[in-house]
Amino acid sequence: MYEIQTFNTKNYNWSTKVASGDSIDSRIGHSAVLAQNGDIIIYGGNKFNDIFTPAIPYIAKLDTSSWMWSIPNLSQINAPQLSFHSAALYRNYMIIAFGLSPSVSSKSYFALSNNLYILDIKNYTWVTSFNPNKSPPNQTPSNYNLFIGIGIGAGIILLGVFSVIGFLLYKRKKQNQYPKFIPTPGTTDQINIMK
């Protein structure tokens, strides 16, 4: 886990970064999430050369600014060492779901897991619930409503302007559809045009 392949999405090139720090086993079947501060957090997995043995440590953090591995201190252990699971980051919470856990009865078998685990990556504690409706600190609900109001108002104004322009163009085309009538001696001042 010390030679890390990175892909530059701007110039489409691969490169190798060399990481240092705490000892992290090479692994398969793990998950990784990118935290808001740029750290990569890996969880679970099994040893690369022995798929029935969980990798140690089961959680690690890579600081992508210094390429240093570190092992977070967890306050308690509430989640098993999963492999071939899924993980996603929601704000400061790493949500780990499903996967395989080592079987208690046999070293060569896995037990399926249908549980969800939530890790607060700000404090590195396992939590059982969180409030997903809490606003992010940089945007208040009143700002959000203001932006919606401005968007709706601008849409109505643009619709009105385009409607007036469309009506004027239609009226102009309608007037230019027939030649102008020029009265001459012996004709009436009205003309009937058959459609």
What is the SS3 assignment for 167? helix
Which token pair is 53? 């043995």
Whole-number Å distance between alpha carbons of 46 and 168: 72
Residue 152: in which H helix or E strand, if any? helix 141-176
Read off the amino acid at residue 161: V
pLDDT reported for residue 94: 94
Sequence spans of domains, the chain: 3-127, 139-176
Banded pLDDT at 146 (limits 50, 70, 90): confident
pLDDT reported for residue 195: 46
pLDDT reported for residue 172: 81
pLDDT reported for residue 72: 93
Average confidence (pLDDT) over 31-60: 91
Smallest CA-to-CA distance from 60 within 39, 46, 76 is with 39
Q: With respect to CATH, is domain 3-127 assigned 2.120.10.80?
A: yes
- Report the predicted TM-score, pTM, of the whole model to 2 decimal places: 0.64
Neighbours of 88 (CB within 10 A): 11
Neighbours of 64 (CB within 10 A): 17
